[in-house]
Amino acid sequence: MTEAETHYPPLEKVGLALITAADKLPQYFQAHTVYLVTQYPVQAMFNKADFTGRIWKWGAKISALGVKYLPRTAIKGQVLADFVAEFAPTSEQNNLGESTPREDSPDHTRWWKVYVDGASNSKGSGTGVVIITPDETVIEQSIRLNFKTSNNEAEYEAVLAGLKSAKTLGARRLIVYCDSLLVASQINGEYMARDERMAAYLLKVQTAMTDFETVRIEQIGRNLNNHADALATLASVLSADFKRFIPIETLTTPSTDQPANYINAITVGPCWMDPYVTYLKEGVLPEQKKEAEIIRRKTARFWLSKDLKLYRRSFSGPYLLCVHPDVIEDLLYEIHEGICGSHTGGRSLAHRALTQGYWWPYMQKDAVDYVRKCDKCQRFSHSLHQPAGELQPLVSPWPFAQWGMDLVGPLPRATGNRRWLIVATDYFTKWVEAEPLANIRDKDSIKFVWKNIITRFGIPKTIISDNGTQFTSKPFTKYCSELGIRNVYSSPAYPQSNGQAEASNKTVLDGIKKRLEDAKGRWVEELPNVLWTFRTTPRRSTGETPFSLAYGSEAVIPLEIGLPTLRTSEWEPTRNDMAQSQALDLLEERREQAMIRLASYQQQLKKGYNKNIRPRSFQQGDLVLRKVLSNTKKPTDGKLGPNWEGPYRVRFVTGTGAYHLEDLNSLPLPRPWNVSNLRKYFH
């Protein structure tokens, strides 16, 4: 042993001997179950929460090795020399003719000595207890009283604490030394307890004394009770040889108060903590060998308090209270949504629970799941901007068979009070028709379809539009059905489902902006120029101009008149008719080539678009939240309103990425909603 190790208390020396044996004989400790037979509370030392440093390291290592502790049995025939030396009569006893009785003889009396003292001053009250066992073991106890007491009441509390501790230690014959003449005389019946408080304390002491065979109360001088007095006043009067920690306990109510009666107690079911509590309390392991080995090795990280609460030793320092599974949800609610809760994320919630001193298995997973199911966190979560489904391009089977219609406006007021622009785009040739309107009624839409589409290009097969009343009203749908036109509506708040019309709107509007300066109301006069430019410009998707795909030849633009080209300078009427006929004969081939280029272009767009998608899909019956739109947002919310509303239930799936919804009362919503405006609701 080193010089420092020689100064260890006896209990720590036993622990040092055990850890040294484990270091020198690891093969025995790892291959077999080692039993330690000792009279010292080694297991209690390793399990105490207030030990740190070497004691904690020893306990972690020994617990991992699975050492079992057994109390020392009676010394029968062993160490007879020690037995004789310990119980041999002294010379004084021989002179008096006395003999020392055997330990197991009937007349042998093993008296326990208890020194008690109480202190009360302006800073508070406290009691000190010193218990000396028959084998001269000294046990100290210091209790702080968190209530006002007089000196005599503190003395009574000290006597009660001493009797309680002696009973816990198994004492039967007791001598209590007290330096208060009044308290000792009242207990011995020499003085009467006239004060009501003193009488209550006296009755409490007399009741506690009945738990012993014999109790003697003796009054001693203060100079003979310095040890208990020091503990009572929390003063440092002990000698330097007593190198130990004295646990400071707290008594919240006077001992004369009636104990609390607990009613409606909630019984919690079995959980993961039970094997650890059973092993730390009783040393009993599960019957299954594999499970028992796991519990034995993991127990080094746990500690059981006196009130049977399980704690886990953390690497950051403080002990963490192990939480029962039935209490986890309430604990997370208080941290996440309580008075000091701020609806943080799952990882932050788990870290906060850890820093507050709580622990349970899979706590980060439970925190993430709790945050995911939090109603407010889901409603106020950020909007999702990543695409949720693959791009589905729309293809027209032949020219002017499928048109996309949309409204642009309101625009600056022009002549005739016109503020709106209705635009239609053919999905095959990219031909654009547009007309300014003063009103956006259904009859204006019917007139536009008849004048700009049917009378020029024939009856189309399909018209795709948004969900505006000018396109969804009964007169408009009836007019289309009578002509055999199928109406298809895009998903609300998802303009990409009618992307061709939206793209044409943007191009036309950009052209008008660039041609206007201060006179914004002249947009009606500039509209034909913009449309002419759009129709005679080659589109990237088809590689042809909309004019050539519609009529079979390129249009003559004003530039070719001022600066003639070969086509205009060599023009002959006789050859023109033949050239037109040849162009019309080759028009179908030209359109087929344009369709091939269009399909290739759409495939490239789809490939680039699908790289950034984050797939999201739902099944019938799933609960979803819907994005809050400008028309459904409360005006008073401002920027503090939620980003999502609901929940709604999925009725059925429509096509790819579109869902029909209903509220929780089974009331269906009128239109299908695209997956980009929906997110799953967890509950």
Residue boundaries of the structural domains of the chain: 1-101, 111-251, 274-379, 402-602, 623-680
Indicate the residue type of 442. D
Residue 549 — φ and ψ, nearest 5°? -70, -25
The Cα angle at residue 346 between residues 345 and 351, in degrees rounded to 5: 100
Residue 154 — φ and ψ, nearest 5°? -65, -35
3-state DSSP assignment of residue 532: helix
| pTM exceeds 0.85 | no
β-bridge mates for residue 217, sequence order: 176
365 Cα distance to chain centroid: 7
Residue 124: left if φ>0, alpha if ψ -120 to 50, beta else—which one?
A: left
Spatial CA neighbour of 155 closest among 126, 117, 186: 117
Q: Which residue, chain included where needed, has tokens 């797939």?
A: 615
Which pLDDT score is estimated for 177? 92
Spatial CA neighbour of 205 closest among 116, 140, 119: 116
Which pLDDT score is estimated for 241? 43
β-bridge mates for residue 319, sequence order: 313
Q: Do domains 111-251 and 402-602 have the same CATH topology?
A: yes
Q: Which residues contact 228 (CB under 8 A, 6 or more apart)?
A: 115, 116, 117, 128, 129, 130, 158, 177
Q: Structure tokens of 51?
A: 């030990």
570 Cα distance to chain centroid: 80
Buried b (16+ CB within 10 A) or exposed e, 437-457: beebebebbbebbeebbeeeb
Beta-strand (E) ranges in 269-401?
Answer: 302-304, 310-313, 319-322, 358-359
Taking the chain, what is the end-to-end CA distance rounded to the nearest angstrom?
A: 63
Q: Which CATH fold would you assign to the domain 402-602?
A: Nucleotidyltransferase; domain 5 (3.30.420)
Residue 564 — φ and ψ, nearest 5°? -60, 145
In this predicted model, what pLDDT tens digit does every residue of 354-370 receive, in sequence order? 888 888 898 889 888 88
β-bridge mates for residue 218, sequence order: 177
Q: Which residue, chain included where needed, has tokens 């508070």?
A: 124
- What number of other Cβ atoms are within 10 A of residue 187's Cβ? 24
Q: Name which CATH class applies to 274-379.
A: mainly alpha
Q: Name which CATH class applies to 111-251.
A: alpha beta
Largest CA distance in the chain: 161
Tell me how far apart the alpha carbons of residues 109 and 5 are, in angstroms, rounded to a whole number. 37
Q: Structure tokens of 480?
A: 């289309």
What does the DSSP 8-state code read for residue 381?
A: S
What does the DSSP 8-state code read for residue 590?
A: H
Enter the CATH code of domain 623-680. Answer: 2.30.30
Spatial CA neighbour of 613 closest among 656, 653, 642: 656
Residues of the chain with pLDDT under 50: 77-78, 81, 84-85, 90-108, 235-244, 262-266
CA distances from 171 to 42, 109, 113, 131, 175 (A): 22, 11, 10, 10, 10
Spatial CA neighbour of 47 closest among 234, 330, 280, 320: 280
Q: Which helix (H) or strand (E) holds 190?
A: none
Buried b (16+ CB within 10 A) or exposed e, 225-260: bbbbbbbbbeeeeeeeeeeeeeeeeebeebbbeeee
The Cα angle at residue 343 between residues 337 and 344, in degrees rounded to 5: 135
3-state DSSP assignment of residue 436: strand
Tell me how far apart the alpha carbons of residues 367 and 354 are, in angstroms, rounded to a whole number. 11
Residue 611 — φ and ψ, nearest 5°? -70, -30
